[in-house]
Amino acid sequence: MDKDIEKEERGGPVHRSVRHFLPYLAGHRVVLHEDNTAVVWILTNFVSRSPVLMRELRSLWALIARYDISLHPTYIASAQNIIADEASRMAASRDYCITHSTFAHIQRLWGACTVDAFASAATAQLPRFWSRSPQPSAEATDAFAQEWRGERLWVHPPPSLLPAVVQQLEHTRAAAYVCVPRWPGAQWYNMLAELSDAVLHLPPGHLRPVAADAHHRLQSWPLSVFRVNPQGIHYPYAR
């Protein structure tokens, strides 16, 4: 990978993280531990040869100045970066999730979910979650092998699994909130609309990357969250 591109990809998450945690960071001194000396230098001096990264840096500088955040990048050796590395290892490749604040809003709007059906320890929105592969904190593995009846599931799977999710919902008649990319041309999208009594459309900006290789355009994706009615009664849904 080109070194400038690598720095751009590592610099961008700092801006996104500061914005995500603004309520906790505003007015505070923030120490950022980073195991890349080049990134530490760039964030300390707010200078880069890369035009793309300079745009990120200018946006970051404006953000921390506006909210009175004192950012102090500090180098830490990878061997000592235990907490961050452990969190990244818990994430599956290309992992991402909806932001916690958005999930909390959905639960306030529609009621609480009981289990996060397609999660990892790094992306789980709820204490109870089912993971793709065995993890110490997961209640179970393989959502399709679990009992969906009697739950109100948070369902945010990879798009490739959505046809199977629709079949499972039709078979079990389970209650679920299903978070999907807003792709109205997809067959599963229209089938979810038929199963649902409400839908919440979210503009871009409600996803956050978790794995290091998460898609770099995540925050440009609009979303739809379908509230699946367990009785299967078809009501007009919000557009």
So what's the pLDDT on residue 79?
Answer: 55
DSSP 227: E
Residue that the structure tokens 């009594």 belong to? 197
Stated length of the chain: 239
Q: What is the pTM of this model?
A: 0.61
DSSP 76: -
Per-residue pLDDT of the chain (239 residues; tens, 9 = 90+): 333 333 333 446 677 778 767 777 888 888 887 767 887 888 888 787 778 778 888 888 888 888 888 888 888 765 555 444 444 444 456 788 999 899 999 999 999 999 999 998 888 999 999 998 888 788 999 999 999 999 999 999 999 999 999 999 999 999 999 999 999 999 999 999 999 999 999 999 999 887 776 677 788 889 999 999 775 434 333 33
- For residue 77 the two structure tokens come to 């050796």
So what's the pLDDT on residue 13?
Answer: 67
156 contacts 207 by C-beta, under 8 angstroms: no
CB under 8 Å to 173, separation ≥6 — which residues?
149, 230, 231, 232
